[in-house]
C-alpha cells in the first residue's frame, strides 16, 4: 500500500511537471513553468518589500537609487527586454557589506550598495543589471519553483517508499533522495547563471555598453568571494572564474567580426 501511494505521488508530480512544458519566447529554450507572466509579476511585487528588508531596505541616497534605475531602464528600453510584458524596477539596497544582486520573478531587480561600490564603470553596472534581466526573461525563478515542486513530490514519495517506522535506519534512503533533489536544483541553477551571463552580453551590447565589462564584474565577484562578504554570493552564483571563459565565448558568438566602435565602457 505504502509503495502504491509513493508511486502515485511520484507519477502525479512527474505528469504535472512534464505537462507544463513550453517554449520561452525570449530565449527560445523549452522549459517547465506552471505560472503565468501575470502571476510572476504579482509574486515578485509581493516578495520585494520582504526581500529588500533583508538587505537593510532601500538605500537612503535618492540620487544613487535613481541612477541605478535609469541605467536599468536604458537596458530595458533599448533591447528586446522592453518588448516583454515584464514590469522592470531596479532597486539599490542599503546593505554595504553584502556583495550581491538578484532578481525576483516578473522584473523586480536589486543590487546591494556593497556590490555597487566595487564596480568601476557604468558598463559594469549595466552588466550586473543585464544579468538580472536575464534571470527575469529566462523565467528562471518560475522554472526553479516548478522544479522544487517536482523534487518535493519525488523525494516525498521516496521517503514514503523507503521509510520504515520499525527500522529508523531506513531513513537514510529519504535523506539520500533529498540530497539528490538538491543537487538537481544546483546543477540547473548553474545553467541559469550561464544563460543569464550570455543574455547580459547581448543586452548590454544592444544598449550600447561594452559587453567586455562583464569580465570586470566577474573579477570583482571573484575578489569579493575571497573576503568576508563572499559566502552570500557563492550561494547564489557559481564560481566567477569559470564564467569568464563562457562570457568571452558569448562575446565572440554575438560579435564574430569584432565589437562595434563607440560602446560605453
Can you give the binding site for Zn ion, defined by CB under 5 A? 193, 196
Alpha carbons 218 and 15: distance in angstroms, whole number: 39
Shortest separation between residue 188's beta carbon and Zn ion, angstroms: 13
Nearer to Zn ion, 13 or 141 (CB): 141
Q: How far is the CB of 109 from Zn ion (least distance, A)?
A: 11
CB 241 within 8 A of CB 256: no
Q: Which is nearer to Zn ion, 133 or 158 (CB)?
A: 133
Q: How far is the CB of 131 from Zn ion (least distance, A)?
A: 6
| CB-based closest residue to Zn ion | 193
Q: How far is the CB of 132 from Zn ion (least distance, A)?
A: 7
User: What minimum distance in Å lies between the beta carbon of 61 and Zn ion?
Assistant: 25
- Where helices occur in 78-208 by DSSP H, the ranges are 113-116, 122-137, 140-162, 171-206
**Residue 97, φ and ψ in degrees, nearest 5:** -90, -40
Query: Hey, CA dihedral for 153, 156, 160, 163, is it positive or negative?
Result: positive
**Which residue, 74 or 243, is less far from Zn ion as judged by CB?**
243
Nearer to Zn ion, 91 or 154 (CB): 91
Which residues face 164 on adjacent strands? 167
Distance CA 95, CA 115 (A): 9
d(CA 220, CA 240) in angstroms, rounded, equals 9
Residue 199 has a CB neighbour count (10 Å cut-off) of: 25
Q: Which is nearer to Zn ion, 17 or 233 (CB)?
A: 233
Structural contact between residues 71 and 122, judged by C-beta atoms closer than 8 angstroms: yes
Task: Output the smallest distance, CB 14 to Zn ion, in A.
Answer: 28
Q: Name the residue nearer to Zn ion (CB basis): 151 or 196.
A: 196
Non-local CB neighbours of 227 within 8 Å, separated by 6+ positions: none
Amino acid at each position: 500500500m505504502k509503495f502504491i501511494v509513493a508511486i502515485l505521488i511520484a507519477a502525479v508530480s512527474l505528469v504535472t511537471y512534464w505537462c507544463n512544458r513550453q517554449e520561452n519566447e525570449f530565449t527560445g529554450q523549452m522549459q517547465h513553468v506552471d505560472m503565468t507572466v501575470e502571476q510572476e509579476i504579482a509574486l515578485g511585487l509581493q516578495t520585494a518589500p520582504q526581500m529588500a528588508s533583508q538587505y537593510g531596505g532601500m538605500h537612503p541616497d535618492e540620487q544613487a537609487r535613481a541612477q541605478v534605475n535609469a541605467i536599468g531602464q536604458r537596458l530595458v528600453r533599448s533591447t528586446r527586454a522592453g518588448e516583454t510584458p515584464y514590469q522592470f524596477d531596479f532597486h539599490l539596497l542599503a546593505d554595504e557589506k553584502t556583495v550581491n544582486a538578484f532578481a525576483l520573478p516578473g522584473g523586480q531587480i536589486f543590487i546591494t550598495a556593497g556590490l555597487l561600490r566595487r564596480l568601476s564603470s557604468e558598463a559594469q553596472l549595466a552588466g550586473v543589471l543585464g544579468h538580472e534581466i536575464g534571470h527575469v526573461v529566462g523565467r528562471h525563478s518560475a522554472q526553479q519553483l516548478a522544479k522544487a515542486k517536482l523534487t518535493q513530490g519525488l523525494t516525498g514519495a521516496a521517503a514514503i517508499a523507503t521509510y520504515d517506522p520499525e527500522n529508523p535506519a531506513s531513513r537514510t534512503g529519504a535523506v539520500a533522495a533529498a540530497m539528490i533533489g538538491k543537487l538537481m536544483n544546483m546543477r540547473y541553477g548553474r545553467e541559469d547563471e550561464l544563460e543569464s551571463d550570455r543574455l547580459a552580453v547581448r543586452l548590454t551590447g544592444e544598449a550600447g555598453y561594452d559587453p567586455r565589462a562583464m569580465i570586470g564584474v566577474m573579477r570583482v565577484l571573484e575578489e569579493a568571494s575571497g573576503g568576508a562578504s563572499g559566502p552570500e554570493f557563492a550561494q547564489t552564483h557559481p564560481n566567477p572564474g569559470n564564467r569568464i571563459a563562457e562570457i568571452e565565448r558569448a562575446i565572440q558568438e554575438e560579435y564574430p567580426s569584432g565589437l562595434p566602435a563607440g560602446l560605453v565602457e
